[in-house]
Amino acid sequence: MLTVRAPATSANLGSGFDVFGVALGTPADIVRVERAPETTITVTGAGSEYIPEDPEKNTVGAVAKALNAPARIRIDKGVRPSSGLGSSAASAAAAAVALNALYDRGRSREELVPIAAEGEALVSGEAHADNVAPALLGGFTVVTDEGVTQVDASIPVVACLPDISVSTRDARGVVPESATMDDIVDTVGNAATLAVGMSRNDPDLVGRGMVDAVVTPERTKLIDGYDRVREAALEAGATGVTVSGAGPGILAVCRRQDQREIASAMVDAFDAVGVESRAYQTAVSEGAMLYSDGS
């Protein structure tokens, strides 16, 4: 038996739509695999009742098929589905690492990115790698048609997850089909600022670079209380706040000493609009970790 822990991730980061992603220290999925004549899947944990166990309908099943690696697969969900924290990507990345090792397929982590992304297509309708890349590689990732660029980073963040759901398909449906040249120029500048901030582990630069006037404003309309939560986080010391992935999770970048106050402020702000939530005080961290013998 092999066991892999794969982290939650946050994609887009405001200005990097479908390009940027980061791995988070918590929460995470745990996936255990054993060789078998055919693939079977069992799912437990957060939101498991909403996740199909049919290999033809599960991201992990798609990964097993792509690697030609049938297995008995057990998924313990720590990352809730429809959270904006890369739930399906965590499972897909963990399965890719585990099955690659179980069958000695010899694929590098970079080579596993498109394989795990194919599993993501079952959820979003398209094979996007902005969540699976950081889940596999860790740190901060930049995904383009030419490949993935990765930078190790350890920026402190608070990921606040409200008790509401926003599906990736619905969130993609509100993305504008066009943007003004002014907005494009601003977004490019902000994205460049964010990338420099990640390379320097500078939360001020990263926060400044998260501003986006194209996609984020449309997605915030799907999240009850977003504006109130954002303002509360900024007042508590966050250097930047944006929607995590497709939402409804909200990501606040900060300095470590401000995390607790920011987390409390975000939860209180959601509570003020009648929405329960949970805040993870974490940081940009490592990617999927492989263990053997079920340890």
Task: Please write the tens of the pLDDT for every residue from 99-129.
Answer: 999 999 999 999 999 999 988 777 666 778 9
Cα 249 to Cα 179: distance, rounded to the nearest angstrom = 25
* 168 annotated active-site: yes
Structure tokens at 119: 């599993």
Known binding-site residue numbers for ATP: 80-90
3-state secondary structure string across the chain: CEEEEEEEEEECCCCCCCCEEEEEEEEEEEEEEEECCCCEEEEEECCHHHCCCCCCCCHHHHHHHHCCCCEEEEEEECCCCCCCCCHHHHHHHHHHHHHHHHCCCCCCHHHHHHHHHHHHHHHHCCCCCCCHHHHHHCCEEEEECCEEEEECCCCEEEEEEECCCCCHHHHHHCCCCCCCHHHHHHHHHHHHHHHHHHHHCCHHHHHHHCCCCCCHHHHHCCCCCHHHHHHHHHHCCCCEEEECCCCCCEEEECCHHHHHHHHHHHHHHHHHCCCCEEEEEEEECCCCEEEECCC
Which residues of the chain carry a pLDDT beneath 70?
Answer: 123-125, 167-168, 293-295
Judged on CB neighbours under 10 Å (0-12, 13-18, 19+), 292 is exposed
pLDDT of residue 294: 46
pLDDT of residue 124: 64
Assigned CATH topology for domain 156-281: Alpha-Beta Plaits (3.30.70)
Cα 147 to Cα 245: distance, rounded to the nearest angstrom = 20
Assigned CATH topology for domain 2-151+284-292: Ribosomal Protein S5; domain 2 (3.30.230)
* 144 annotated active-site: no
Task: Tell how far CA 84 is from the center of its chain.
Answer: 6
Catalytic residue among 3, 120, 141, 187: 120
Give the gyration radius of the chain's Cα atoms.
18
CB 248 within 8 A of CB 166: yes
Cα 85 to Cα 80: distance, rounded to the nearest angstrom = 8
Catalytic residue among 3, 39, 168, 282: 168
Cα 189 to Cα 193: distance, rounded to the nearest angstrom = 6
Residues 6+ apart with CB under 8 A from 167: 82, 246
So where are the chain's domains?
Answer: 2-151+284-292, 156-281
pLDDT of residue 293: 61
Confidence (pTM): 0.94
Cα 102 to Cα 86: distance, rounded to the nearest angstrom = 24
Residues 22-64 have pLDDT tens digits of: 999 999 999 999 999 999 999 999 999 999 999 999 999 999 9
